[in-house]
Structure 1
Amino acid sequence: MSDLAGKTALVTGATAGIGRAVAMRLAENGAKVVVHGRNADRGAELVSAIAGKGGRARFVAADLADAADVERLAAEAGEVDILVNNAGVYEFAPTPDTSTDGVHRHLAINTRAPFQLVAALAPGMAARGHGVIVNVSSTATTKVTPGGAAYGASKAALETLTRYWATEFGGAGIRVNAVRSGPVRTPGTEPLLAAVGDAANRMTVRGRIGDPEETAEVVLFLAQDRSSYVNGTIVDVHGGEPATALD
């Protein structure tokens, strides 16, 4: 057991991909995990998988696009020591083809929901004198590609909030950092990766797409006391970005 024993973690978007890997790693290292998602069956399966490895978890369903549901999630989570804002939506389309509802959906889930959860849960962390918040961002904030404007903007806002929150809550014993993840092979990204074929493996210097567990390891590090002097930082986890050829 690590220094997470006795602590409670809330992981949003925990029933698949990076979120699932994060929930498993936190539980394996002693945290009691509140796993969030929208699918009750997948939530129950994850809780069972965590219990099967000797961990503790419970599932809370919520639609992060609904502000009232986010507030309910925060209330049902209770006292949280570690908040991992992982849930996200990514719908790639050129700006003229992106609906107003699509823009609102990106901002609601990727930006507003984390804002609400921090607003609801950080005061309790501050009162107890300790807490960790980890936001999962994307290289879409720095590596511009056609069709990703709404997604990239919503994640860039989350990175800005990371730095603001680190300053706002740092004096109260709360550390706030973000993980800027590169391409990762998950059920959600599989169709996109399949569409680009072998070119996907040339997206990183490592010559391959990342696994969710590789990002989860960095989130685990940021959640633990061994990263006690890391605050307000965006950690890149992308395998190295290939150099851009000069014209």
Structure 2
Amino acid sequence: MSGRLQGKRALVTGSTSNIGRAIAEAFAAEGAHVIVSGRDAERGARVVDGIRARGGRAGFVRADLDGSAEASRALAREAAAALGGGVDVLVNNAGIYPGDTTAGTDEKTFDEVYAVNVKAPFFLTAALAPAMAEAGGGAIINLGSWIARLGVPVGALYSSTKGAMETLTRAWAAEFGPRGVRVNAISPGVILEPGARAARAGAAMMNGTPAGGMGTPQAIAHAAVYLAAEEAAFVHGIVLDVDGGRTTAAVIAT
């Protein structure tokens, strides 16, 4: 690695597994001091131990981002303190996916998914972005999803929350960009850990794409490093598709 994030202080929510874990590991490999965050302290400790074993800097802050403003503010305070007084890079990755039909979704589930996927990052950003601006700048990376723009018959609730995050990305870029805080988003395609049980269904969703198969969490992590680093200094308010071409191109077999 080239130290592209050397000296940066980063908070990655939902980083005890999958995409979040890969982003935390990639940030640390590039020189960032990373706070791993999630609900499971045991899994968080494993991620932190792995980063430290490879020579990186990391710590764990437990957080149950239930959508309450106080839960998000508490994480902002604790992460900033653990990082020595501030956060330079925030990755809003934590989210839940119920995967039900519209008719099969009850009100409690609806409220919970919006609380975790939209309210929690909203108030976390509200807590950290002004401090980033006062400190001279920073970067915020939101996680969207390919199904926010390409409709699928199951998962309307989840896809609507990711559409909200992509809209917030553009609004926050306008709000915080002039104050030195760049806000962008990544829209992953079908991403699964190698050997995941859902691999067959995921692979089917990637049929007919240029990539021809699923992506790995590391593919998203590479994009996150780019958006957090100085190479992206002129990049504001974009949604970067890292989806194997799922939303942009169809391959027609002959």
Q: Shorter-chain-normalised TM-score: which range?
A: over 0.9
What letter corresponds to residue 243 of structure 1 in structure 2?
A
What letter corresponds to residue 78 of structure 2 in structure 1?
E
Contact preservation (8 Å) 2:67, 2:118: no
1:112 pairs with 2:114: no
Contact preservation (8 Å) 1:185, 1:212: yes
SS at match of 1:6: coil
SS at match of 1:152: helix
Q: Quote the Cα distance in structure 1 between the aligned partners of 2:112 and 2:151.
A: 20
SS at match of 2:103: helix
- Identify the residue that residue 32 of structure 2 maps to in structure 1: 31
Shift in Å, 1:69: 2.2
- Identify the residue that residue 55 of structure 2 maps to in structure 1: 54
- Identify the residue that residue 136 of structure 1 maps to in structure 2: 143
> RMSD value over aligned CA atoms?
1.8
Q: 2:177 aligns with which of 159, 170, 173?
A: 170
1:151 pairs with 2:139: no
Shift in Å, 1:21: 0.5
Contact preservation (8 Å) 1:16, 1:186: no
What letter corresponds to residue 156 of structure 1 in structure 2?
G
1:22 pairs with 2:23: yes
Shift in Å, 1:203: 5.8
1:124 pairs with 2:131: yes
- Identify the residue that residue 193 of structure 1 maps to in structure 2: 199
Provide closer, same or farther for how the CA distance between residues 58 and 159 of structure 1 changes in structure 2, counting only shifts above 3 A: same
1:20-57 deviations in Å (ceiling 9; x for gaps): 11000100111100110111111101110000111111
- Identify the residue that residue 4 of structure 1 maps to in structure 2: 5
Q: Quote the Cα distance in structure 2 between the aligned partners of 1:167 and 1:198.
A: 37
What letter corresponds to residue 74 of structure 1 in structure 2?
A
1:76 pairs with 2:72: no
What letter corresponds to residue 193 of structure 1 in structure 2?
A
Contact preservation (8 Å) 1:14, 1:37: yes
Q: Quote the Cα distance in structure 2 between the aligned partners of 1:197 and 1:80.
A: 35
What letter corresponds to residue 38 of structure 2 in structure 1?
G
TM-score, normalized by length of structure 2?
0.91
Provide closer, same or farther for how the CA distance between residues 206 and 62 of structure 1 changes in structure 2, counting only shifts above 3 A: same
- Identify the residue that residue 184 of structure 1 maps to in structure 2: 191
Contact preservation (8 Å) 1:204, 1:238: no
1:109-166 deviations in Å (ceiling 9; x for gaps): 1111110111000111010111000001100101101121100110000000000000
Q: 1:232 aligns with which of 237, 241, 248?
A: 237
Shift in Å, 1:66: 4.6
Shift in Å, 1:75: 1.1
Shift in Å, 1:106: 1.4
Q: Quote the Cα distance in structure 2 between the aligned partners of 1:132 and 1:156.
A: 20
Provide closer, same or farther for how the CA distance between residues 95 and 86 of structure 1 changes in structure 2, counting only shifts above 3 A: same
Q: Give every structure 1 segment of 4 or more consecutive aligned residues whose post-TM-superposition deviation is greater than 4 Å.
A: none
Provide closer, same or farther for how the CA distance between residues 11 and 197 of structure 1 changes in structure 2, counting only shifts above 3 A: closer
Report the identity percentage.
Answer: 44
Q: Quote the Cα distance in structure 1 between the aligned partners of 2:184 and 2:177.
A: 11
What letter corresponds to residue 233 of structure 1 in structure 2?
I
Q: Quote the Cα distance in structure 1 between the aligned partners of 2:206 and 2:148.
A: 20
Shift in Å, 1:82: 0.1
Provide closer, same or farther for how the CA distance between residues 197 and 155 of structure 1 changes in structure 2, counting only shifts above 3 A: closer
Alignment of 1:197-208 (within 5 A): 199-202=204-207, 204-208=209-213
Q: Quote the Cα distance in structure 1 between the aligned partners of 2:208 and 2:91.
A: 26
Contact preservation (8 Å) 2:13, 2:20: yes
Greater share of helix residues, 1 or 2? 1
| Structure 1, gaps ≥5 residues long | none
